[in-house]
Each structure stands twice: as structure tokens, then as C-alpha cells.
Amino acid sequence: MSESTPLLSVRHLSTFFELSGNVKAYALEDVSFDVYPYQTLGLVGESGCGKSTTLMSILRLLPPNAHISGQVLFKGVDLLALSEEEMRAYRWKEIALIFQSAMNALNPVMRVDEQILEAILLHRLLPREQAWQRVQELLDLVGIAPQRGRQYPFQFSGGMRQRAMIAMALACSPSLLFADEPTTALDVMIQAQVLELLKNIQKRLGLAIVLVTHDLGVVAELCDQVVVLYGGKVAEYGSVDAIYNSPQHPYTQKLLEAFPDLHRPTASLASIPGTPPRLTDLPSGCRFEPRCFARLERCRHEPPALREVGEKHYAACHLLEEKENLLE
Amino acid sequence: MGSGNYLLRKFAFALLTIFVVVIINFVLFRILPGDPVRAVIGRNVKISAEVQQSLREQFGLDKPVFPDQFLMTIRQWASGNLGVSWSLRRPVAEILISKLWNTLLLIGLGQILSIFFGVLLGLLAGWKRKTALDAGALTFSLIAWATPTFWLGIILLAAGSTWLGLPTGGILSPQNVGKPLHTVLPDLAVHLILPTLTLTILYLGEYMLIMRSSIVETLGEDYILTAKAKGLNQWQILWRHALKNAMLPIVTIIALNLGFTVSGAIYIETVFSYDGLGKLFQTALTKQDYPLLQGAFLLLAVSVILANMLADILYTILDPRVKAS
Amino acid sequence: MYRTLLFGLLVLVLLTACTTSQPSTTETAPSTSPQAPAQPSTSQEPVTLRVGWPGFPDTLNPAYAFLTESYTMFDYIYSTLATESQSGEYVGLLAESWDVSDDGLVWTFKLRPNVRWHNGEPLTAEQVVWNLNAFIQNPDGWVTNSGYVAGFVEARVVDETTIEIETEYPISNMAYRVSFLYIVYPPDFEGFATPAELQNFTNFNAIGSGPFKLASLDKDQRIIILETNGDYFDGHAKIDRVIYQTFDNSDAMIQALKVGDIDLIGEVPDSAFAAVSAFENVKAISLPGRSITELIINSAPADHDPKPNRNPALEDPQVRLAIATAIDKQDLVDVVLQGNGTPGVTIIPPTLGGGFWFNSDIQDVKFDLDEANRILEEAGYVKGSDGVRAKGNVRLEMRLQYASDQPNYPRTAGMIANWLAQIGIKATPESVDPDSLVVATNPNADYDLVIWGWGADPDPDFMLSVMTSSQYVEGGWSDSGYSNPEYDRLYLEQQKAIEPEERQKIVWKMQEMVFNDRPYIVLWYGNILQAYRSDHFTGFIESLLGIDSFQSLMNVEPVR
Amino acid sequence: MEAWQQLRRNFRELWQSFRGNRMGVIGLGLVISALIVAILAPWLTPYSPQQVMRDENGRGLTFAPPAVHPPLGTDDGGHDVWAQLVFGARISLTVGFLAGFIAMFVGSFLGILAGYFGGWLDNLLMRITDVLLVIPDLPLMLVLVATIRQMQLKISPITVLILVIGLLYWTSTARLVRSQVLSIKERQFVARARAIGAGHAHIIRKHILPQVMPLIVANTVLILSTAILIESGLAFLGLGDPTKPSWGTMLNFAFDRNAISNGAWWFYLPPGLAIVWVSLGCVLLGNVLEEMLNPRLSGHHLEGEAHIIKPGEQQ
């Protein structure tokens, strides 16, 4: 597979949840992006904007009240067209997942090495003997002394747990790794170590990563491409340089303003006044309109379309159209 | 190290509780009015003053209640001497031991069956939440919970003996009593059907409810999502990841339920005239046989306390988290 | 994995526990081998009569036995000098005949020759005398026998088949007295130093000389196996074995009879008698018995120590009359006994001596609530606003206690309380265990009304003694505290009246006194309710001894 | 004041969502109907529970089937079973409710004290509940009731039952209330109230109590069902008042007086059904209330798969 063909192409991905009382929550709407081999894509946005839902929709791990539509082309196969049985073969073997809180994501009453082993054996990649060998290598790779694999998750520190989680994610040598806020629950020092580890691993193993975070510092450090989500829709999408150097969407601009110092990414997003929209009660126009400092009259009624604003740089805002019109 | 401390604490607690039971037992039976000697003798007999005095000395009633009688009683209990039953005129300890196994058989069978089916049903109900199966199991459990043990026993007894020709009580048919056990196992089994069924129905509901909420909670955990993301199918997830985690609270509940189990034994053995400790307790109660009542209470309470301690120890073996902390 | 292992282990432990507990609990009498058939001629399965009963003997030692189950067994296993026959008179058993000297102080018993113990040894006159003298000399040890040897001075051997009993004063009911003196095998009873040791001996390997011998007794399974004594001096039973099995629950026992697991129930509850009567192949028998049930009114003398604690209105004869008038005895019999009994009148049941002792002249008061109300009104008890009558500051409010061990007393108490409420007496029923009731009635005299009962002896002496003031001491038989010097005098007189007609007159007079003073209101005479499988056995003798008396069982034969 | 108004508002909201819950409404219906029967007992039957029914000859009519004596026949004592049942409701419910309320008061009181003040009081209380939790409750109660009755304190058997049940079943309430109080205590408004110098009594009355009240109500309903079941059990074992028969006492008579051998189903079925009726009502009600106050997880990860909308599929 050459670098120019995307490993994963998400097209028009929409997801809504059916809630009680016939209420629908529109969590994702018309999300599209590409992930290329050896590259890292960052999914950023505030809590509840649909970052995790995107990952879960791709892996089809959402509960039965979720309704997913669109296309998810992985190595040319539409994952949404597979049966559940076929889908299981893709999970972990092709696409692995790292959770935000490894404390809860690891089974508390199973030894760590056994949890890693389980994934290898499940997908019948290696016979048992060699699988054990591989577990040791993986632990070693993430910097855990292999004999500590005999322990239980609660005997690990937070950082170690996340490392163990990473080792587990690498167990089947997936070509794509989803990392859902892998460092949020850790303290700053450990965060840096874990990110370093992820970076190294990507270099050594050459996998593609989709990194979900609300931490723009992490994005700047790790990512090649960035998707900015707001209210379940793509606000802006482009290379990390393009986004950081010329953010086009007012939301992206505000987001970046909230992080004046990329190396101290601890400030709160609350510096943007207002709160994200409720998914059950979305504005009919632009979803950012109620909080936007530069809103126009049409923003209130008319949802803006995603438009190309540079090379492989897209944003969805009526202002851009106005600007274009002005230029013309 | 940590687990040693934990066990020590549990042991100390069990001792404390037993001590409380001993005190309750002693105080309750000492505040009873009336002369125990007269009560021994009953309505039917004349007895001389000397004999009464010697009985009084035999019971230690001529000494002050505290500390003499108390210490004497504790010494006796500790050495397994629980006194002599008034109504049966035999050592209480001997009577209790002779009934213990029958009760263990009944309770053991009932517990095993109800845990097995309760856990299984709870697992299915929790897994298939909000389906007809779940609603059915839930309704059954609530009704079972709300039904008095003895009444269910009476109904099953009346129905079973009328329509199925099952025995109405006892452990063996008259012609089989006294024969070696291995020759009468089928008869024993037939006699066990109704009481065991009653016990099972009652406990099953409780275990099912607990297992159901435990499994629902477990299946909501992130590591289940991890397992799903790993590509495990539902059965693999249930068996390898959910079951053990969900079963852990059940161990504690089984232990805490033992007291409830003892209550069940008293009712069921009474209804089915099953010759065990529960029936003995009820007989001692109606005959106001205080030494027997006291001994039975002591035995039941201490067994439950020790069983609780054992469950705690078992828990440390099953749950790695407790062992280390 | 260890989970399943654990459960597996538990089952295993339970099962092995059950098997191991089995053999250690059976005690087998050493003298007989249980397999050996009683009659050498029978080669097939021994003929076994299975009896279900609700209790179990607490002992087989006659020195210290209170439960009726013990006495049932005594009658099978031991012999006495004389015994009561089905028709109510006394006949010889170990004794062929007996005589009293002219002064009434020396009784001579002629013993049967060739009587043997169950172990084959001959039963001698010395052994009988040893028994009698043991009872006389050690009343603290032989507690239950002591009442029957009161007034005995000494027993003596005259010759190999003749013994004498010397008494302090003439005794009118000697045959009755000796019918309760079970003759035990002396070697088993000689070694006891203290009364307590003797009383604690349960003799569960009893050797006797009765028509049945003890083959085994299992006190955990509560099963007794008796075998016919082939060497019995008065012929032997036509069945080989009798098995007594205890049922904790009467419904289970009735079901066992219904399906034929047992052949006889010695005590059918009154509430189930109608149901049992309807069973196929079952014959249910309801015969007048010797039990009485009474309402005791606290009649302890005012100077009794401790001072009686009771409603003072109970001392008023008119209140007692009103209470008696407000009790519908027929209704109690109909409802509580489901018809299986007779309304009670006097303390002597009509069955004693075939009706000879029962004072049939006494007319019971008629149930009439209006009349009862009128009596109270006349006596000055006025109904208050709450419906309870009072005279001055004495309110007609009282306790109505009953023994907790009889399933029909709660119903009785409920009905009586209901009637009393209608005549302005508030009676609060309360269940009290028998032991506490003993203490409350005698010596404490701390009660108002008590429902209780007696099983009367065949001779009127015992029931009459219950009303004497000398029995109202701690440990005595009296519970009412009735005290009447004239009655006491008559009691002693009837004991010495050797001439039956003369004694009858006194006994009738005494019944009348008790009836009029009402320390007891006798509620009913209960029937003996029994049932057997008529398709299995025949030949039961229906008498007030019960169809399970040893005489009856000796007559029973299987239905071919 | 504010907190109490909030509480009233909470109750109103609770009622709104409660009305939509089928299980809860059924439970409430069962309980209320039983209460109505108990209150209206004298108007529901022409007989008193002590009255003996008679046949045309004036003889007591015992074990009469419903066909002979409608609607529910007679018992061993010739009483009308229906009359016993409706008057028995009074006794059973009185014992259940009073015992339940005692348990509630004791439990809430001790739970609030322990949670609020903490320290040795909390420790002591928790040890007591620990101990009570492992001592088997029925044997303890039987022994207690038997002993108390034997002391002849002139307390009616029913009062003894109420006291013993009530004073042994407060532990779960105490634990629940305590943990709730512990979490409330940490909240800001309590700290604020304390900072401005409010007394303990004031804080408990104005801030803590309204917050734990809904929990106490839900728990009490559950305790009620336990109390009614326990009462029936103790009465069945012969510790009730035979002259004021509760449902348990009726079953005691039925069992002791051979209703089974007599085939008198009309005697032993109705009281048991009545007990199930009420205790099931309380359990349904209590569970629903608890669920509403303390919503559990709404779903889990194995409930099924997400629905994939195929291209062209209408949604």
C-alpha cells in the first residue's frame, strides 16, 4: 500500500442514538476524513463533540440504540457492510484501541500478561509457546519488566497500566491504532513518557494512529493531520501546520487561543463562553453559532458546508464564503 | 503481609461476635423467671427438698450469677458441654450433633441448586436485559422474595402429596428407617424433593437478583468494551471476563445469606417435619426446653459466624485485590 | 475451576457425613439378636405391625418417667403384679391371686410359677420383693413409683411363689396401686449410689418379663423395634414384631397411614379424625377415654404463702356460677373436639370403673348467657361503658391462661373468652408453657383462670387427691388450691373404705362438693382417637385401654 | 426552609415519573388495597372473627368448604375464613407497619448521628451493625420473643412482636442513611452553613434531613415487606396472639389443626396469598422508588449491536 492511498477512509459517517421517548441524539453528522499509513490523525474538540463516538462507530462498538450510516473503508473494505462475525476479525488484529483510563479498561481479576496473551491466541496468530514469547517482547517494548506481567492491574501504577494497555494494543501488530485520550488520566510527567512511547512505537512499527484528545499540545507534537469536531460535525480538517498556522474556523481559532503556550496545555476550554450544544436539541443553522463571536444572520438558519480553504485544508463556516465573495 | 492482617482482623471480628452471642445467650436465659429446678421436674412429680437442693447445686444455681455462674457456663460451653435437654433428657451437644448432618444435607443441596440456577438465570437475565426472559426472571424473583417460606412449603406439601404422591414429611419412609443409608438413597431422595425445591425456589430468587445486577454492572465496565474491541464474541466475554468479576459479590452475599438460610431451615424443617436442627429449634421453642434452645441458638449463631469468616477467607483467595491490599 | 471443585467437595462431605453418622446411633439390646424370628416356625418375612406416634419415650427406667410414651413401652416390656383389663377390673399378671388380712394391713400375693426374664433367667419372688422394697425405701430415687407405694411399710418373701406387703393403714385400691409398679430386672438397677444416678439411667437396653421384648431402640431416628416374647407366661402374640416410629407432624403421620406405610396411629388429632375416618381400608375408632379438660379457678386460701394474686371477684361463688353458666360445653365438644368427646361435669370421668365412680346424679348448669348476665347483675356487678362489669373497684377483668402444648387449647380459650365477653367479663387468653404454669398455679397461686387437663387413673383416688389441701404444697398435685377440711376428711375415709359401695358413696359426695364449689369447671371428657389399617390387621380389642394396649396387640393377627 | 421546599418539589417530580412506572403503580395498588381492606374490615363481613358459624341444627360448622359456607368456608374453629382474613389484615399490617416505622426511626436517627458526627459514635454503631448482620436473625428473634413472653411483663404478644422486629431491623437503614449523610456532609452548602455558625441541630434539620428523606422513604417501604414476612413467620411458629389472629396465626392454626389432611385449601391458601399480596406490593414499590432515587447503569456493553443503516435505507 503506497503512502498516497489512505489506509482508512471515512465518508459521510453519521450516528444518532435513539433515546427513550422517541428522542434522537445526533452524535455525528456527515464526518469524513482519511488516515494514511505511518501517519497520525488527531481528533480534537470539547467533551461530547463526537470524538470517541467516531472511533466507536468505526469499530462498531456502540450499543444497540445507535444507528450508524455512511462508509468506513479500511484497506478498501467497507467495515459498515460487514457482518458482526466478519467485523470481529478486524478488531484488534487490524485496528486496536487504547482507552482513556487503563485502570478500568483492564480486567481487574486477570493477570496482565494473560490479558495480552488472550488477544494473540484469539486471533490465532501464534501457537501458545510463541505467543508467550511475544507477550514478553511486548512488555519489554513498552518498558515493563516481563516478570511484572504476572501481576494484576491494580498492582500497577497509572503509567504502567497505560503502557500495558499499549502493549496489549500492539499484540496483534495492527496497522491502525485508535488512542482515545491515552494520557488524560495521567500526571504531566507520565503523560510525556507515554506520548514518547507512542511516538517511538509508531516510528518502529510504522502504524497509523488516530489520536483522540482535547489537548492541542499533544496534537502539535504527535499529529500529521487534524480533524476539529464540534457538535458532531467536522469544523475544520487539514494538516497540523495548516490548522495551527492558519486556523479558518472561529472555533479552531478560539481553541488555539485558549492554549497560548503549547507546552503548558492545562488551561480550560471554558475560556470559550457558553457550552457545546445538546445533541438532542441542535441548532438548525451552524452548530457553533450560539457561541460564535463572528456570527452572521444566515448562520442561525443555514448549516455551513465544508469547503476547501487550502491544499487538503477544509473548514465549514459561512464567513469563509463571505470572505471569498469579498475577494471576488 | 497485608492479607495476614486482613485475616487476623476477620478472625478477631468473628471472636468478638461469638462473644456477643455468648453474652446474649447467657443473659437471656438467666433473666427467665421461675426456678429452673421446678421447671425440670415438671407437673408430674413430687420431689424432696434434698433432691431439689442437689439439682440446684448441679446447675450451679446456688452461686452468684456473676461472675461464678457466668464463668462456669462459659467454661462448660467451651468444653462442648451444653447441658442436658429437659424434654429429651440427653446431653444437648449429643442431640445437636445427631441432627446437624441432616440439616447440612438439606441446606447444602438447596444452596448448591439455588446458587447454580440463580447465578445462571441471573446471568442470562442480566445479559439479555429488558427481554421477556429478563422480565420473567425478575417477576419470579420478586414473587419468590415476597412469599413466606413456610407457606410455600405448605402449598408444595399439599400439592405434592395430593397429586404427585410425594411423602409429606420426614427423611425416610417408615419401612426404611434404621436401614443402612446406601440401601435407601432413592427413598431419601424422594423425601428431599419437596423441602429442597422449597428452599431452592426461595433462595434462587435472591441469588438471581444479585447476579443480575452484578452482571449488568460488570458488563457496563470498560474492560468489557476492551474485550469486545479485542474481537471476543459474547460467550467469550461472558465466560472469561464477566463471570468471575460478577461472581465476586455473590460470595459475600452467600455468606451474609447464611443467617437467612438458617431461618429457612427452621421453617422448612417444621413444615416438612424434617428431623434436623431447624425442627429441633422449633421443638425446643414449643416445649420451652431452654437448655436445648440455648444450645441450638449457640450452635446456629456460631456456625453462621464461622461460615462468614470462611467466606471472607475464600474471598481473599478469589479476588486478588483483597489479598494484596 | 476451584469453584466447581469446592461444590463437589461439599456434596461429598455431606454424603459421607450421613453415612458415617448412621451406625453409631443404633443401640441394640444385647440379649436378643434382631434377626432371629420370635417364632421358630416362621421362615418367611416376620409379621410386623408398624405404629406411628407423635412422641418418644424419654426413658425406659420406671423410676423417673413422665411421658406417656414411656408408660406405653413399660406395658409392653415389663410386667406388674396386676393390671387393668379391657373391661376395667383388675386382673392378675405376675400375681395369680391376692388377699388382704382382716385388719387390712397385710396383702398376700400368690405369684405365677415359671415366669422368665427376656434373657431367659427365671423371675423370682426375691426379685419382686427387691423391687417393692427399693420403691418403698428410696422414694427420692424411684420418684414416679413413690406415690403408688405411699403407706407401704415393707415387702417380704413368704415362699418361692408367695410375697407379702405390709401397709401402715388399710389401702382401698391395692390392685390399682400395684398395676403401676413395673418390676424391673434387679441386676440392672443395683449399682446406683445416689437418687440422681438412678434417675439419669435411661435403661434403653431394658430387660423385662412382658409380652414384648425390646429388640432395638434408636433415639436419633426415634424408632423402637419390639419382638414378640415367645416365652411369655400367658401365651404369645400372633405377630412377630412391632415397630414404633415417631412423626413430628400429624399430617405426615396421617398420610403414612393413608398410603399404608404404617398400620396404626395411637393418637389421631381431633381435628383430623373426620378426615382419617374417610380413608379407604382404614378403621378409625373414637372411644370414651379417661382424660378430662377443665377450667381451673384460683381457689387458693387467702392465707396461702405467697399471697394469692388473683381477681378477688373469683372468690365470689356467684361469679363462678356465672362463668359456669356462660360456657357452652356442648359447643366446645362440637367445635374444638369436632364432636369427639362428651361435655364434662365432675372431676371423675364416667369411664372409671365402668361408670361406678361417676356421680350421675349431678345436674350440670345449663348454658344461658342471659341467665349468667342476670346472676352477675344480681350479685352487684354493673356493666361499665366499655362493656366490662365492675363492683366497686373490682373490675371483672382476668387472665385466661392455657398450657401451650395442646393444639386445641387456643381455640378453647378463644371461645371461652368470647362467651365471657358477652357477660361483661374481660378474659385475656395467654399461652403459657406447662412448666411455668406449674409454678404459677402451685406454689405461686398467681393466676385467675387456667385451661388444663388430666389423664385420670383407672381408680378415682388420684383425681380426688388433686383436690385435697394437703396436695397444695410445692411439688404437690393440686393446682386449684381448693381447700375444704370436710373434703380432706372424706378423702382419707374413702382410702380406707375397703367395701366398694361404701367407698362409692363417699366418692360421689366428694364430686358433688367440688362441683358446687367450682375450683374446677370440667369442660369435657375427651375420647381416645385411634385408627388402623383394616386391610392389614384384624383382631384389635377396642377398649378404653386403646387398641394399642399389650392385650390388644397380643390378639392382633394379619389379614390373610 | 429552602431545602424542605426543594424536598417537596422533589417528591412532586418523583410522583410524576412514578406514575409512568407500571411496576411501581401495581405495587402501590397492592399496598393501598390491603390497607383499605384492613380499615373497612367490619363493613366487609357480617361476622366477627371470633364468631362460630353454625349449621341448621345449631352445631358448630368446622372445616366447611366455600360451597357450604361462602365465600371462603370455615376453619377448624368454625370461624368464617373471610372474616378472619379481613380482620387479620388489621393485625398483620399493624405489626408490619409499626415495626417498620420503629426500624425506620431508630435506623435513621442512628444513621444520621453516626454519619454526621463520625468518630467513636460512628465506629461503635458500625461495629454493632456488623455484629447484628452476622447473627442469624430468626433464631435470635425466636429466642428473644420466647424469653420476653416468659418474663410475663404483661405486654401483649403483638407488642412484643412489634418491638422485637422493629429493634432488630434498623441496621440496613442506619448503614444506608449514614453513607448518604457522609456524602452530603462534604457538600458545599453544609460547609457554608457551618461557616456562618449554624448549630448541628439546625444543619441536620434544615440540610441533612430533607436530603436523606427520599432514601428513608424508599428503604422503609422495603423494610415494611420484611416486617410483614417476619411477623407471619413468627406467628406461624406460634408466637402470635391466637385470639387476635393475623395471617401468620391463621396459618399456624391451619398447620397445627390438620388443614392439609382435611384438604381445607380454603383455610391455608388465602392467608398466604394475602401475605404475598402485601409484601410483593411493598417490594415492587420500594424497588421502584430506590431505582428512581438512585438510577443504576442504564445499559451494558453486550446488549446487542449498533444498527447499521444501509445506503438507501430510510430512517
Residues of chain A with Cβ-Cβ distance to B225 below 8 Å are: 61, 99, 105
Note whether A119 and B230 are within 8 A (CB).
Answer: yes
- A237 beta partners: A227, A314
Which of B78, B105, B130 lies at the terminal end of a domain, its last residue?
A: B78
* 3-class SS of residue C395: strand
Q: Which three cell numbers stand for residue A273?
A: 463562553
Q: What percent of chain C is modeled with pLDDT above 90?
A: 66
Q: Check: CATH 3.40.50.300 for A8-94+174-327? A: yes
Are B64 and B99 members of one domain? no
Average pLDDT for D67-94: 94
CATH number for the domain spanning B158: value is: 1.10.3720.10
B87 part of a folded domain: no
Please, what is the Cα angle at B220 between B214 and B226, to 5 degrees?
125
Q: What predicted TM-score, i.e. pTM, was given to this entire model? A: 0.86
- Determine whether B63 is exposed, middle or buried from the number of CB atoms within 10 Å of its CB (0-12, 13-18, 19+): middle
- CA nearest B169 in C: which residue? C252
How far is residue A234's CA from residue C33's CA, in Å, rounded to a whole number?
99
Do chains B and C touch, with touching meaning 3 or more CB–CB pairs less than 8 Å apart? yes
**CB-CB: which of A61, A67, A81 is closest to D307?**
A67
**CB-CB: which of C272, C334, C431 is closest to D261?**
C272
Which of B45, B78, B111 lies at the terminal end of a domain, its last residue?
A: B78
Q: Identify the band that residue B34 occupies on the pLDDT scale cut at 50, 70 and 90.
A: low
Do chains A and C touch, with touching meaning 3 or more CB–CB pairs less than 8 Å apart? no
Residue B123 has pLDDT above 70, yes or no: yes
Higher pLDDT, C45 or A107: A107
**CB-CB: which of B35, B45, B104 is closest to C144?**
B45
Note whether C526 and C329 are within 8 A (CB).
Answer: no
The pLDDT of residue C372: 97
**CB-CB: which of D76, D260, D262 is closest to C411?**
D76
Please, what is the Cα angle at B179 between B177 and B184, to 5 degrees?
85
B32 part of a folded domain: yes
Check if A84 contacts D (Cβ < 8 Å). Answer: yes
The pLDDT of residue C33: 39
Residue B287: give the domain boundaries. 93-324
Are B210 and B317 members of one domain? yes
Candidates D124, D278, D116; CA nearest to D209 is D116
Contact criterion met (CB < 8 Å) for D242 and C429: yes
Contact criterion met (CB < 8 Å) for A64 and D308: no
Quickly tell me which residue has 392385650 as its cell: C551
The pLDDT of residue C43: 52
Residues 199-238 (D) with a CB less than 8 A from some CB of C: 238
How far is residue B106's CA from residue D38's CA, in Å, rounded to a whole number?
38
3-state helix/strand/coil string of chain A: CCCCCCCEEEEEEEEEEEEHHHEEEEEEEEEEEEECCCCEEEEECCCCCCHHHHHHHHHCCCCCCEEEEEEEEECCEEHHHCCHHHHHHHECCCEEEECCCHHHHCCCCCCHHHHHHHHHHHCCCCCHHHHHHHHHHHHHHCCCCHHHHHCCHHHCCHHHHHHHHHHHHHCCCCCEEEEECCCCCCCHHHHHHHHHHHHHHHHHHCCEEEEEECCHHHHHHHCCEEEEEECCEEEEEEEHHHHHHCCCCHHHHHHHHCCCCCCCCCCCHHHCCCCCCCCCCCCCCCCCHHHCCCCCCHHHCCCCCCEEEECCEEECCHHHHHHHHHHC
- The most confident of the ranges A13-17, B253-257, C3-7, C324-328 is C324-328
Residue C19 has pLDDT above 60, yes or no: no
- CA nearest C474 in B: which residue? B46
**CB-CB: which of D229, D265, D280 is closest to B143?**
D280
- Give the pLDDT confidence of C348-378 residue by residue, as tens digits: 999 988 889 999 999 999 999 999 999 999 9
- Give the pLDDT confidence of A110-147 residue by residue, as tens digits: 899 999 999 899 888 788 899 999 999 999 988 899 88
- CA nearest D243 in C: which residue? C414
Are B74 and B184 members of one domain? no
Contact criterion met (CB < 8 Å) for D146 and B256: no
Contact criterion met (CB < 8 Å) for C272 and D60: no
Query: Distance, in angstroms, between B97 CA and closest chain C CA?
Result: 9
Residue D241 has phi, psi (to 5 degrees) of -105, 110
Average pLDDT for D57-83: 92
B42 part of a folded domain: yes
Residue D27 has pLDDT above 90, yes or no: yes
Residue B102 has phi, psi (to 5 degrees) of -60, -45
Number of H-type helices and E-type strands within chain C: 17, 23
The pLDDT of residue C526: 93
Do chains B and A touch, with touching meaning 3 or more CB–CB pairs less than 8 Å apart? yes
Average pLDDT for A201-212: 88
Using the CB atoms, write b or e for C80-104: b if 16+ within 10 Å: bbbbbebebebebbbbeebebeeee
| DSSP-derived pairing of the beta strands C264-265 and A313-315 | unpaired
- Which of these ranges, A49-53, B262-266, D14-18, D107-111, has the smallest mean pLDDT? D14-18
Are B42 and B12 members of one domain? yes
Contact criterion met (CB < 8 Å) for C243 and B174: yes
Which of B34, B52, B78 lies at the terminal end of a domain, its last residue?
A: B78
**CB-CB: which of A64, A65, A67 is closest to D309?**
A67
- Chains in contact with chain A (at least 3 beta-carbon pairs closer than 8 A): B, D
What count of other Cβ atoms lies within 10 Å of the Cβ of residue C382?
11
How far is residue C64's CA from residue C198's CA, in Å, rounded to a whole number?
8
Query: Distance, in angstroms, between B55 CA and closest chain D CA?
Result: 22
**CB-CB: which of C140, C243, C255 is closest to B51?**
C140
Q: Delimit the domains of chain A by residue range.
A: 8-94+174-327
- Chains in contact with chain B (at least 3 beta-carbon pairs closer than 8 A): A, C, D
How far is residue B121's CA from residue B136's CA, in Å, rounded to a whole number?
10
Q: Which three cell numbers stand for residue C215?
A: 429388640
| DSSP-derived pairing of the beta strands C537-538 and A23-35 | unpaired
Average pLDDT for C390-397: 93
- CA nearest B229 in A: which residue? A91
DSSP state of B222: H
- Who contacts C182 (Cβ-Cβ below 8 Å, separation ≥6)? C62, C74, C78, C79, C80, C208
What count of other Cβ atoms lies within 10 Å of the Cβ of residue A172?
22
Check if C480 contacts B (Cβ < 8 Å). Answer: no
- Give the pLDDT confidence of D30-43 residue by residue, as tens digits: 999 999 999 999 99
Query: Distance, in angstroms, between A131 CA and closest chain D CA?
Result: 28
- CA nearest B219 in A: which residue? A107
B136 part of a folded domain: yes
Q: How many domains does chain B divide into?
A: 2
B88 part of a folded domain: no
Average pLDDT for B244-256: 82
Give the type of residue at C455. Answer: G
- Which of these ranges, A86-90, C279-283, C339-343, has the smallest mean pLDDT? A86-90
Check if A291 contacts D (Cβ < 8 Å). Answer: no
Quickly tell me which residue has 425440670 as its cell: B40
- C533 beta partners: C282
Contact criterion met (CB < 8 Å) for D258 and C336: no
**CB-CB: which of C7, C14, C256 is closest to B105?**
C14
Residues of chain B with Cβ-Cβ distance to D147 below 8 Å are: 28-29, 31-32
* 3-class SS of residue C167: strand
DSSP letters spanning B249-309: HHHHHHHHHHHHHHHHHHHHHHHTT--SHHHHHHHHHHHT-HHHHHHHHHHHHHHHHHHHH
Are B64 and B116 members of one domain? no
Q: Which three cell numbers stand for residue B15?
A: 471472636
- What count of residues does chain C have? 560
- CA nearest B305 in D: which residue? D134
- CA nearest A68 in D: which residue? D308
Are B66 and B104 members of one domain? no
Query: Distance, in angstroms, between B178 CA and closest chain D CA?
Result: 27
Note whether A72 and B210 are within 8 A (CB).
Answer: no
The pLDDT of residue A183: 78
The pLDDT of residue B45: 46
Note whether A277 and A283 are within 8 A (CB).
Answer: yes
Mean pLDDT, rounded, of chain A: 85
- CA nearest A177 in B: which residue? B229
- Give the pLDDT confidence of C173-205 residue by residue, as tens digits: 899 999 999 999 999 999 888 887 888 888 999
Note whether B21 and B14 are within 8 A (CB).
Answer: no
The pLDDT of residue B41: 52
The pLDDT of residue D238: 86
Check if C55 contacts D (Cβ < 8 Å). Answer: no
How far is residue C161's CA from residue C115's CA, in Å, rounded to a whole number?
10
Residue A301 has pLDDT above 50, yes or no: yes
Query: Distance, in angstroms, between A65 CA and closest chain B CA?
Result: 13
Mean pLDDT, rounded, of chain B: 83
* 3-class SS of residue C157: strand
Are B116 and B262 members of one domain? yes
* 3-class SS of residue C30: coil
Are B33 and B138 members of one domain? no
Residue C247 has pLDDT above 70, yes or no: yes
Are B8 and B74 members of one domain? yes
The pLDDT of residue C379: 95
Are B37 and B105 members of one domain? no
Query: Distance, in angstroms, between B85 CA and closest chain C CA?
Result: 10
Query: Distance, in angstroms, between B192 CA and closest chain C CA?
Result: 13
The answer to whether the complex's ipTM is over 0.85 is: no
Q: Which three cell numbers stand for residue C357?
A: 365412680
Check if A62 contacts D (Cβ < 8 Å). Answer: yes
How far is residue A279's CA from residue C43's CA, in Å, rounded to a whole number?
94
Are B28 and B112 members of one domain? no
The pLDDT of residue C25: 36
The pLDDT of residue B33: 59
DSSP state of D237: I
The pLDDT of residue B52: 67
- CA nearest C12 in B: which residue? B105
Strand order in the sheet with C389-391: C382-383, C389-391, C394-395
Q: Which three cell numbers stand for residue D188?
A: 458545599
Are B26 and B138 members of one domain? no
**CB-CB: which of B33, B155, B296 is closest to D151?**
B33
B83 part of a folded domain: no
How far is residue A192's CA from residue A196's CA, in Å, rounded to a whole number?
6
Note whether C113 and C122 are within 8 A (CB).
Answer: no
What count of other Cβ atoms lies within 10 Å of the Cβ of residue A85?
8
Where would I find the H helices in chain B?
Answer: 2-30, 36-41, 49-58, 70-78, 92-127, 132-146, 149-163, 185-219, 222-229, 234-236, 243-271, 277-287, 290-318, 320-324
- Determine whether C493 is exposed, middle or buried from the number of CB atoms within 10 Å of its CB (0-12, 13-18, 19+): middle
Residues of chain C with Cβ-Cβ distance to D59 below 8 Å are: 334
Q: Identify the band that residue C22 occupies on the pLDDT scale cut at 50, 70 and 90.
A: very low
Residues of chain B with Cβ-Cβ distance to D133 below 8 Å are: 256, 259
How far is residue A157's CA from residue A168's CA, in Å, rounded to a whole number?
16
